[in-house]
Structure formats: C-alpha cells, structure tokens
Amino acid sequence: MPDLWTLIALFVAIAAVFILLWRIAALHAATKELPAGIESALAEKHRAMLADLHDGLNRQGDRLLSQSAESGERLQKALAELNASFQAKQDQLRAEVLEQIMLKLAEQARADRELLQSGLGQATAQLAASMESLTRSINERLEQISGRVSERLDEGFKKTNETFASVMARLATIDEAQKKIDGLTTNVVSLQELLGDKKARGAFGEVQLEALVRNTLPPGSFAFQYTLSNGTCADCVLKLPEPTGLVAVDSKFPLENYHRMFAPEASEFERRAAQTDFRADLKKHIDAIASKYILPNETSDGAVMFVPAEAVFAEIHAYHPETVGYAMQKRVWIVSPTTLMAVLNTARAVLKDVETRHQIHIIKDALGKLSKDFARFDERMQRLATHIDQAQKDVQDVQVSSRKISGQFARIEGVELDGIEAAPAIAAVPLRKAGEE
C-alpha cells in the first residue's frame, strides 16, 4: 500500500513538471511579440520562475526520496513480518502434518504388529501342537518297542538262567555219578573200560551230546528223547526253521570192534578181522539211522550220527573213506564233539537270523507307523511354513508402505523449504528496481 501512494505522488510530480514546461514554452512564445524592455523583464521574471521551479523540484525530489526510503523501510519491515508469519504458519503446518503422519504410521505399525503377532501366535500354537503330537506318538512307539525288547530280554535271560541251572544240575548229576564210580572201584578206571559196557557207553554219549546242545542252542530249539511218528525215540532232535525242520541226532555208537582193533594182545589177523567187522558195524548203524530218523514230511532229509570220541571219528575219516561216502549217500552226517559244535553254531546262527527277521518285521511295522506320523508332521510343517512365509510377506509389505510414506514426507518437506527460499527472492526484486529509478 505505501508503494502505491509513492508511485501516485511520483506521477503527480512528473505531471506538474510537464505542465510547468508547457507554460514556460507558451510564455516564451508570448515574449517574442513584446518589446525589448518587456522582454528583459519577462526574462528576469522567467529566470526567477525557473529558479523557483528548480528549488521546488529539488524540494519535491528530496521529499520523494525521503518518502521512497521510508516506504522501502516500511515495505521491508512488512515483508519481514509477513515472512515471520509465513514461517510460523509453515512450522505449524509442518508440525500438524508430521503429527498426522506419525499418528497414521503408529496406527499402521500397531495394526501390522497385531497382525504379525496374531499370525506368529497361530503359527507357534500349530507348531507346538504338531511337536506335542509327534513327541507323544514317538514316545508311545518307543514305549511299545522298549516294552517288547524288555519282554524279549527277560524271556532270554529267563531261558538262559533255566539252561544254566539245567546244565549245573546235569553237572551235579555227573559229579555224583563220578563219585559213585570212584566209590565203587579202588583202582583208576580207564575210559576204555568205562566204555566197555554198552549201556554205560550210551549214557556217556547222551550226556556229552546233551551238554553240547544245551550250551550252544537256545531253549525251545531242541528236544531230548523225542518220539517220532514211527515209534522210534531219538536221542536228540534239533528244531530248525523250515524247510529244514526236525533233524534227529543219534548218540549210540558201536565201539566193540574198534576196541578189538587196538587191543594189545590181538594178532594182525584179529586186527584185520576187527577192522572188517568195525566197517560192517558202521554201515549197519548208518542204515539203521537212515531208516529210523529220516521220515518224509516229518523230519529233514538227513540225520546226524554222533561219535563221542575224536579218535574214533579220525579213524573213520582216515581209514574208511568209503564208509563216509556211503553215509553221505544215505544222508547221514557223521560228527564228533568238535564238528558237532560247528554244526550247532551254524544252527544257532540260522535260528538267530530267523528271530532277527521276525524282530525286523516288528520294527518295520513300527517304523511304518512312525513314517505315517512323520508324514503328518511334514504336512503340518508345510502349512506352518506357508503361514510364516505369508507373515514375512506382510512384513515386507509393511516395510514398503513405510518407505513410501517416508518418501512422501521427504517430498512434502522439500516442497515447503523450496517455497520458503523463493519468497524472499520475489520480494527483493521490486526494491532493487525502485532504488534504481
């Protein structure tokens, strides 16, 4: 407003100057027509008027300059006040915008946090439920397997103790028999004299066979004095898995002619005759075992002839190979205490393998059930992973929204600062032009 009045005053002064100049020009034209005296008077008066006009113009110029300076100061002051007011309003607007943005960000963050916490809570609950179910299922399976293993071990220990007790009882019986023998004779009885009696020799072979079998095979895999369907009583029967089945073992062996072969008082002819009779006894005994203990659809296709003395077994294999071949044709296997131990260990390995297969079947069933439980756990774990991926995606979306809001806030702040810097430059241009005029 003060600028407008200054411009109006300036225009009025310029108009007055033009009017004065016009009047002076008119006066000068009129003076040309007057006489010289009047011309000089008019010239003097004209000079006085010009002097007054110059003084008036100077005074008017000084007043205009003074008013222009005062108007500039007032304008600068007004601009400063306007700038301060604009800055205050801008600060207030920025504070309000920041407050609204922060409120919106806080609300959005709170909503996102609640959504994330809800999703994580559900995922955690599902995972805990799945882990609890899996743990319970595994514990149940382990308890079942542990119970079965404990039962098997208890049964095995029980049978082992029974076998050990039976062996100890047998040993006690043998000790008692030995004591009775020691009490009945005053001299040392040799093994040959003891085996001279057929009944005693049979009892010795049965005891030796029973001790070997009981010490090697598990209970339930053998039987002594087993009666077959043809009425024959086998000294021992090995109960092996199919297709072998029952294997009969005979411990009665003819040793009379064997003793005649090595009698010190026997002649060479008697020795040869005893050897021939011994070979005949062997074949006869082999035929008897094959006919009594090899029964179709009941026993295996072979039987075992137990020779209770290693020396007799060595004699047969060293000097009677044709008899060994004949026994193989009849499916009769000749064994000594040492070779019978190998046969029994093989049978025990077969029994153990069969039992292991049964246990593997049980373990396989348990593992199959456990596999189903784990498949359910994997399915639930996949669902949980899907929920976690969705929660992660929501978090990423929240971060994108936060970055966008931050970018918008930065752009808003940049626009406001640009407006503040441009305002003083616009206001300063008219002042410089006014000073130049």
Residue 244 belongs to some domain of the structure: yes
Range of the domain at 288: 191-335
- Please check the confidence at residue 396 and state whether its pLDDT lies above 70: yes
Q: What tokens does 317 get?
A: 């294999």
State the average pLDDT for the chain: 77
More reliable by pLDDT, 239 or 132: 239
2 pLDDT higher than 60: no
Within-domain flag for 257 = yes
- Residue 116: inside a domain: no
More confident site: 50 or 170: 50
Instruction: Indicate whether 206 belongs to any domain.
Output: yes
From the DSSP assignment, how many helices (H) and strands (E) are in the chain?
A: 9, 5
Backbone angles phi, psi at 263, to 5 degrees: -70, 135
Write the DSSP symbol of residue 299. Answer: B
Whether 409 is covered by a domain: the verdict is no
**Which residue has 């008219």 as its token pair?**
430
Residue 236: predicted pLDDT: 92
User: Rg of the Cα trace of the chain?
Assistant: 66
pLDDT digits (tens, 9 = 90+) for 159-183: 766 766 776 676 677 667 666 655 5
Please state the domain count of the chain. 1
Residue 302 lies in a domain: yes
Q: What is the pLDDT of residue 325?
A: 93
What share of the chain in percent tops pLDDT 70? 77
Measure the CA–CA gap between 173 and 175, rounded to whole angstroms.
5
- For residue 430, whether the previous peptide bond is cis, meaning omega lies within 30 degrees of 0, is no
Q: pLDDT for 30-47, tens place per residue?
A: 656 555 566 677 677 777
Any domain includes 330 = yes
In a domain, residue 360? The reply is: no
Measured CA to CA, the distance from residue 428 to residue 3 in angstroms comes to 14
pLDDT-wise least confident of 96-105, 120-129, 277-286, 307-316: 120-129
Contacting residues for 202 by C-beta, under 8 A, at least 6 apart: 251, 252
pLDDT in tens, 217-268: 998 889 999 999 899 898 999 988 888 889 999 988 777 888 888 888 878 8
Please tell me the distance from the alpha carbon of residue 391 to that of residue 120, in angstroms, as a whole number.
7
